[in-house]
Amino acid sequence: MTDESGSTFTLQPSDSIRLQNNASVSTSSSGQGDAGNILLTTSELDMDSSASVSSGSLSEGNGGDGGAIGIGKEIVMKNTDTEDERFSVTQPADTIRLSNHANINSSSKGYGDAGEIGLGVSDLELDSSALISSVGKNGQGGMIIIAGTIDEPENEQFTTPEFADHIRLHGNSAITTSSEGYGDAGDIRLKTRHLEMHDASVSSDADFSGGGRISVNAEDTVYLTGSRITTNVYQGIGNGGDIELSAKCKMQSAKCGAGVVILNHSEIQANADEGDGGAVFIVTDNFLKSFGSIVEATSERGNEGTVRIEAPDLDISGKLVVMPDTFFNAEKWIYDICESRSGKARGRFSIRRYVVPPDMFGDEHDSLDGFFTR
């Protein structure tokens, strides 16, 4: 912990990092200093059982900013004309797994902004209430970027040259940026070939100011079941943030399939309270939405937002099978019921059992003699 702006903490293991049972890697600051940055260079990061990687500014007044967090197999620091340090993830980590309340977070409790989080990864999996978050108390939430590679050339204008392969969120897991005060929530950018969400959420919500922007660029599949993507503003005059969701093959390659967006009892919302609703743009080769799913950009008191879905109208007539003029007659293959056999020759064989009362002949023993021949 420091009162001045912290430096960058870099951890460079050979192959893997494993954190579990409340283990943590953290930087923090009090006073007006910024929290230090955290860079983890590894092929595999496995976090379990409330383990955390965090950078936070703890001052509740005019405090500094939360530090940035960068994770990947190869990270290159960049020198700039300013005192700000910039980094690029030039090679992705093979896997990053968070489970059982494990979390990666940057935060600011005062008027400073939360820091950025950049994950360069091939396969990211969050399960069992795992969390990636950048939260500003009174300042802005920081940006979260997840892709194959990440570059920050200048002025915080991040680029994502390469796709991640898979991003999977399960079991009440979340990726979120937020602001509890008058700062805007931070942006979220996901660039992956496949995004799967089951009982999970991606959100950039604000209490009073504007919601952040969420951009999902998928080369193949976006599949949501019981999940939410939201940029809502719950109070105040801030506008709902924009949501851009693209699942469209943009090139001919072996890894590029048919882009499809599937919403199964899921929600995509860019709503606001007094401000205007945000905008929702969905561009895909195939769009499938269940009856219980919601796509909306509304406002309680301001102007309604925009919802635009660009997906081709599918012509399935060429895949339909033409039925014959007459239906198949299965009568000869079905056993006749009794009514249909009433006009046919028939035979009958029955077995009966006669019960003779003991006193039928007045005497029990005499009654038996009538049934035997001597």
For residues 208 and 132, what is the distance between their CA atoms, to the nearest angstrom?
22
Residue 180 CA to its chain's centroid (Å) = 23
Q: Residue 209: inside a domain, yes or no?
A: yes
Distances (CA, A) of 76 to 45, 93, 120, 150: 18, 14, 12, 10
* pLDDT over 50 at 332, yes or no: yes
Domain count, the chain: 1
Q: Residue 58: inside a domain, yes or no?
A: yes
Q: Residue 353: inside a domain, yes or no?
A: no
What CATH number did the domain enclosing 48 receive? Answer: 2.160.20
Least confident segment among 68-77, 153-162, 164-173:
153-162
Q: Residue 16: inside a domain, yes or no?
A: yes
Name the amino acid, one letter, at 201: S
State the residue range of the domain holding 267. Answer: 8-319
* pLDDT over 90 at 366, yes or no: no
Q: Residue 328: inside a domain, yes or no?
A: no
Of the candidates 94, 112, 115, the residue with the CA atom closest to the CA atom of residue 104: 115
Q: Residue 237: inside a domain, yes or no?
A: yes
pLDDT digits (tens, 9 = 90+) for 173-218: 999 998 877 777 889 999 999 999 999 999 988 877 777 899 999 9
* pLDDT over 70 at 355, yes or no: no
**Residue 12, burial from CB neighbour count under 10 angstroms (0-12, 13-18, 19+):** exposed
* pLDDT over 70 at 353, yes or no: no
Residues 6+ apart with CB under 8 A from 22: 49, 50, 51, 52
pLDDT digits (tens, 9 = 90+) for 116-139: 999 999 999 999 999 999 988 877
pLDDT value of residue 241: 82
Q: Residue 1: inside a domain, yes or no?
A: no
pLDDT value of residue 72: 96
* pLDDT over 50 at 149, yes or no: yes
pLDDT value of residue 370: 46
Rounded average pLDDT over 101-117: 89
Q: Residue 366: inside a domain, yes or no?
A: no
For residues 218 and 246, what is the distance between their CA atoms, to the nearest angstrom?
6
